[in-house]
């Protein structure tokens, strides 16, 4: 079928072979390239359609978003054009993330504005709940562990989504990863304005979002990053209860949603959700990173107490004594209360005690970029390890794919010195993880989210990192020889002294990355490679 995009067409459905609409006569091939197949959604702002790109081999599917201004006055069209261009710039800037649909094209035709994006096949979270019922607490924690690093990435780009809700979150069929859709101005209706309005008034009067999911400050047209945190909290309540905001009662005095009687969750998760859903911005989590810290506090403190990060070869009695000492620190320190945010102080206290006790074993400790403590090799081991990038310190243990993913979901972020060779971690969310000196040869990390992770001195020979999110990742002295980094996002990554011989960087984004021309000479690049200065092309 070929679908007509004329908003006034009374019979938009046509045969696939038709060149013009048989009802209104409009040309059906949009921009001489896109054949619209069917509508996907419609609202006051315009409509979304499934289309096929006939300009590419195989005619792949794509999504066409049509912005329809509600008036044709020159100043309204100019406003719509500015909003449209702003949306395109936003998507162009953040669309390299594996959990955001890529912007493929944008153009204006007959006073209508069009964005063409990557098609994401899968079901929305709203559809999942409608089909399968509400989520368990573990399911919501897993969801948050996937979406919060993405939200932090978006906020780092100075972008507020403003419409986070179950209908805008799709679980992609091919890898089961959460994808966030519908950014910025395209989802908002451009209404009749006045020529004398300031730009701020004109550009914020429509930016309200979805009632019930949007917090008060956003409804008052003053959205902040914490507004997205609130909307994410409401989304969690929907996942746990199956009820939309309009079906949940509110406290008339405070405006707070009365959600707690509707869900059964642990005190820890309830405290996190309460802070996400604070009506006052002052009392709410200010960022996605703060929510992650709140969620990780319980398992992180538990992992500290159990000695997961640094273990000696001492007796069982000595290890038991260490755990008791850790527990004493936790119980006597008010920061160990999940309602407080003093986890760094507690961790520091435990690290200090362990550092002191390990001096007798000839160990020195240092902090990694992610704040995780690991043992530094002795001088002899250090000298030996400097002879080759492949000669890492002794690996602690071999982990299976399921063991690693389960540990990550439970809050563990330290896999330094581990043997992770040939694991299949395609599409996994492992952001902010410590892989320092780990063995990852031939490991499949295609499409994985590894934002801000530490791969210092890690062995990644022939690893599959294609289309992975490696923004702000740390690769100092890592061995990436023969690694597949095609299409990877390496923006602002630290690659100083990394071995890139034979690494495939075709189409990779190296904007702002710490890397030398000498390193790039021995790697494979092409005209699609984005160099550290932000420009595409070869050396």
Question: How confident is the model over 271-302, as pLDDT tens digits?
Answer: 999 999 999 999 999 999 999 989 875 444 44
Residue with tokens 């074993």: 361
Q: Contact at 8 Å (CB) between 1 and 35?
A: no
Total number of residues shown for the chain:
539
Comparing 28 with 325, which gets the higher pLDDT? 28
CA 224 to chain centre: 18
What is the DSSP annotation of 217-267? HHHTT---HHHHHHHHHHHHHHHHH---GGGS-B-TTT--B--GGG----H
Q: Is 442 flagged in the annotation as binding?
A: no
Cα 15 to Cα 499: distance, rounded to the nearest angstrom: 56
Domain ranges of the chain: 2-118, 122-286, 308-362, 364-539
Residue with tokens 């079928």: 1
Q: Contact at 8 Å (CB) between 413 and 395?
A: no
Q: Per the structure block, which two tokens stand in for 178?
A: 């959460």
CATH T-level topology, domain 2-118: Phosphorylase Kinase; domain 1 (3.30.200)
Q: What is the CATH number of domain 364-539?
A: 2.160.20.80
Q: Which of 404, 446, 450 is nearest to 427 (CA)?
A: 446
Question: How confident is the model over 98-136, as pLDDT tens digits?
Answer: 899 888 988 888 778 898 999 999 999 999 999 999 999
Give the pTM: 0.55
Question: How confident is the model over 434-445, as pLDDT tens digits?
Answer: 898 899 999 999
* 163 has catalytic annotation: yes
Dihedral (CA of 296, 297, 303, 307) sign: positive
Q: Which of 113, 117, 28 is nearest to 64 (CA)?
A: 117
Torsion from C-alpha of 403, 405, 409, 410, nearest 10 degrees:
20
Classify 122-286 by CATH class. Answer: mainly alpha
Question: How confident is the model over 419-464, as pLDDT tens digits?
Answer: 999 999 999 999 999 898 899 999 999 999 999 899 989 999 999 9
In percent, how much of the chain has pLDDT > 70?
74
Out of 53, 163, 479, 484, which one is annotated catalytic?
163
Cα 52 to Cα 430: distance, rounded to the nearest angstrom: 33
CB under 8 A, 24+ apart: contacts of 83-89: 83/184, 83/185, 83/186, 83/188, 83/190, 83/203, 84/108, 84/113, 84/115, 84/185, 84/186, 86/184, 86/185, 87/115, 87/183, 87/184, 87/185, 87/186, 88/115
Q: What is the mean pLDDT of the chain?
A: 78
Bridge partners for 171 per DSSP: 123, 178
* Continuous segment of H or E residues that includes residue 373: strand 373-376
Question: How confident is the model over 24-52, as pLDDT tens digits?
Answer: 888 889 988 999 999 988 765 668 899 99
């Amino acid at each position: 079928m070929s679908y007509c995009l004329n908003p006034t067409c009374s019979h938009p459905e046509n045969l696939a072979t038709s060149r013009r609409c048989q009802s209104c006569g409009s040309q059906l091939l949009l921009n001489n390239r896109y054949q619209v197949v069917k509508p996907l959604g419609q609202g006051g702002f315009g409509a979304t359609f499934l289309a096929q790109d006939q300009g590419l081999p195989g005619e792949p599917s794509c999504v066409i978003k049509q912005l329809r201004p509600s008036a044709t006055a020159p100043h309204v069209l100019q406003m719509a054009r500015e909003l449209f261009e702003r949306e395109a710039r936003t998507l162009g800037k953040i669309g390299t993330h594996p959990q955001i649909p890529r912007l493929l094209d944008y153009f204006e035709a007959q006073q209508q504005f069009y964005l063409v994006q990557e098609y994401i096949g899968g079901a929305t979270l709203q559809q999942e709940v409608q089909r399968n019922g509400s989520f368990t607490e573990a399911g919501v924690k897993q969801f948050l562990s996937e979406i919060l690093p993405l939200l932090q990435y978006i906020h780092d780009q100075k972008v507020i989504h403003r419409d986070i809700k179950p209908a805008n979150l799709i679980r992609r069929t091919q890898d089961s990863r959460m994808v966030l859709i519908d950014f910025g101005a395209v989802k908002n209706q451009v209404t009749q304005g006045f020529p004398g309005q300031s730009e701020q008034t004109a550009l914020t009067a429509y930016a309200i979002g979805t009632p019930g999911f949007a917090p008060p400050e956003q409804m008052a047209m003053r959205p902040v990053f914490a507004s997205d945190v609130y909307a994410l909290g409401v989304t969690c309540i929907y996942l746990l209860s199956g009820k939309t905001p309009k079906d949940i009662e509110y406290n008339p005095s405070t405006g707070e949603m009365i959600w707690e009687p509707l869900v059964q969750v642990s005190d820890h998760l309830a405290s996190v959700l309460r802070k996400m859903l604070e009506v006052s911005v002052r009392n709410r989590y200010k960022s996605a990173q703060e929510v992650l810290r709140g969620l990780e506090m319980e398992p992180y403190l538990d992992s500290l107490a159990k000695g997961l990060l640094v273990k000696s070869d001492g007796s069982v009695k000595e290890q038991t004594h260490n755990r008791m000492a850790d527990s004493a620190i936790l119980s006597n320190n008010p920061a160990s209360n999940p309602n407080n945010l003093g986890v760094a102080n507690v961790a520091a206290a435990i690290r200090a005690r362990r550092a002191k006790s390990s001096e007798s074993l000839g160990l020195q400790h240092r902090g990694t970029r992610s704040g995780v403590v690991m043992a530094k090799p002795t001088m002899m081991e250090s000298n030996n390890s400097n002879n080759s990038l492949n000669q890492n310190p002794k690996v602690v243990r071999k982990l299976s794919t399921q063991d690693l993913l389960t540990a990550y979901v439970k809050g563990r972020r330290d896999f330094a010195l581990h043997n992770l060779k040939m694991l299949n971690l395609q599409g996994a969310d492992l952001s902010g993880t410590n892989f320092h000196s780990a063995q990852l040869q031939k490991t499949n990390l295609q499409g994985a989210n590894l934002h801000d992770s530490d791969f210092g001195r890690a062995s990644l020979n022939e690893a599959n990192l294609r289309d992975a999110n490696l923004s702000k990742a740390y690769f100092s002295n890592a061995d990436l020889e023969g690694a597949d980094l095609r299409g990877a996002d390496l923006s602002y990554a630290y690659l100083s002294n990394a071995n890139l011989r034979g690494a495939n960087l075709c189409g990779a984004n190296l904007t702002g990355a710490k890397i030398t021309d000498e390193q790039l000479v021995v790697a494979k690049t092409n005209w699609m490679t984005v160099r550290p200065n932000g420009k595409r092309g070869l050396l």
